[in-house]
Chain A
Amino acid sequence: MNILELTALLGAGACAAGFVGSLTGLGGGVVIVPLLTLGLGVDIRYAVGTALVSVIATSSGAAAAYVREGYSNLRLGIFFEVATTLGAVAGAFVATWAPTRAIAIVFGLVLLSSAAFSWQRHPAAVRDAPPDPLAVRLKLAGSFPEAGGMREYAPRKIPLAFSLMGCAGVLSGLLGIGSGAFKVLAMDRVMRLPYKVSTTTSNFMIGVTAAASAGIYVSRGYVDPGLAMPVVLGVLAGAAIGTRVLATARTAALRLFFTAVIVVLAVEMIVQGVKGAV
Chain B
Amino acid sequence: MAESADERRSRSVGSLLRAGVMLAAAVVAAGAIPYLVAHGLDRPDYSVFRGEPKILRSATGIVRDALSGDSRGILQLGILILIATPVARVVLLLADFVRDRDGLYVVVTAVVLGVLAYSLLGSGFL
Contacts and interface: CB of A to CB of B under 8 A. Distances in A.
Pair from one complex: yes
A187 B25 CA distance: 31
Given A211-B87, A218-B83, A3 B39 contact: yes
Interface in B31-67: 31-32, 35-36, 39-44, 46-53, 56-58
A93 B6 CA distance: 35
A216 B10 contact: no
A255 interface: no
Contacts of B17: 60-61, 63-64, 67
Main SS class of interface, A: helix
B28 A233 contact: yes
A208 B58 contact: no
A144 to B, nearest CB: 11
Given A74-B6, A219-B123, A211 B86 contact: yes
A179 interface: no
A214 B120 CA distance: 7
A59 B76 contact: no
Contact of A139 (B2, B49, B83): B2
Contacts of B7: 70
B108 A42 contact: no
A226 interface: yes
B79 A221 contact: no
A6 B114 CA distance: 39
A167 interface: no
Interface residues of A, number: 64
A70 B125 CA distance: 35
B79 A53 contact: yes
B11 interface: yes
A78 B10 contact: no
Contact of A78 (B29, B83, B112): B112
Nearest to A139: B2
Interface stretch (A24-32, A83-91, A124-132): A83-91
B79 A1 contact: no
B28 A232 contact: yes
A211 B41 CA distance: 33
A123 interface: no
B79 A223 contact: yes
Interface of A: 1-4, 6-7, 36, 40-43, 45-46, 53, 56-57, 59-61, 63-65, 67-68, 70, 72, 74-75, 78-79, 81-82, 85-86, 88-89, 92, 137-139, 207-208, 210-216, 218-229, 232-233, 236
Given A45-B51, A218-B58, 14 more contacts: A3-B40, A6-B44, A46-B46, A57-B24, A61-B17, A74-B9, A78-B109, A139-B2, A208-B116, A218-B56, A218-B125, A220-B57, A233-B29, A236-B21
9 contacts: A2-B40, A43-B49, A60-B21, A81-B90, A207-B89, A212-B115, A223-B76, A228-B79, A229-B31
Interface of B: 2, 6-7, 9-11, 13-15, 17-18, 20-21, 24-25, 28-29, 31-32, 35-36, 39-44, 46-53, 56-58, 72-73, 75-76, 78-79, 82-83, 85-87, 89-90, 93, 104-105, 108-109, 111-112, 115-116, 118-126
List the 4 closest pairs (A to B, CB-CB), nearest first.
A221-B51, A225-B75, A215-B125, A215-B123
